[in-house]
Amino acid sequence: MSLAAAPNATESCNSFIPPSFDVNKVEIISDRPDCATFVFTDEDHTLGNALHYVLMKNPKVDFSGYSLPHPSDNRMNLRIQTKSGLSAQDALVKGLNDIKDISRHVLDTFNQAFDDNKMQE
């Protein structure tokens, strides 16, 4: 069985770009270290709201908020303002690490719950 030729560019209507580390995901708009707007490409409420949440929970973050300027635009804006000498970028990195820590713990606990279930049976 041989493969047919791939359709031409005009025929392919998919907009999704497979995840890779090469794409430029974030752009920073900032003129002061303690406040910045991060413009994310191809992100939505999933990361926006989660980041907004962990950032608000950081005592060194004064303000964080996110918006999706237009539904047919694949951009998400995240605004961060910090205090106590933490830079907005460091706050974002800490937020990302907090999300990763949470996810890792949830994964471990979820797997553990199945093991416990099996032991009981």
Partner 1 sequence: MSKKSSSSSKKGLSDPNLEDKRTKVTVGNAGLENPRGTYYSGAYTSIGYDNSFNLQDFKDNFKVKILSEKPYELVFEMSGIDAPIANAFRRIMISEIPTMAIEKVYIINNTSILQDEVLAHRLGLIPIKVDPRKFNFKLPNKEYTAEDTLIFQLKVKCEKEDGKIINAEALSKHLTWMPTEDQEEMFPDVNDQPRPVEGDIPIMKLRPGQCIDVQCYCEKNIGREHIKWSPVCTASYRLLPVITVDPSVTGDKAKELVNKCPKKVFDIEDDQVVAARPLDCTMCRECIREPEFEKTVKLQRVRDHFIFSIESTGALTSREIFQEALKIFIEKCNIVEESLNKLL
- 111 touching partner 1, by CB under 8 A: yes
The contacts of residue 84 (CB under 8 Å, 6+ apart) are 60
71-100 binders of partner 1 (CB under 8 A): 89, 92-93, 96-100
- 35 touching partner 1, by CB under 8 A: no
- 119 touching partner 1, by CB under 8 A: no
Distance between CA atoms of residues 60 and 87, nearest Å: 10
DSSP E strands in the chain: the ranges are 26-32, 35-41, 61-67, 75-82
- 36 touching partner 1, by CB under 8 A: no
CB atoms within 10 A of CB 99: 15
9-28 binders of partner 1 (CB under 8 A): 9, 12, 14-16, 18-21, 23-26, 28
DSSP 58: S
Q: Which residues bind partner 1 (CB under 8 A)?
A: 1-9, 12, 14-16, 18-21, 23-26, 28, 40, 43-47, 49-50, 52-54, 56-59, 61, 89, 92-93, 96-107, 109-114, 117
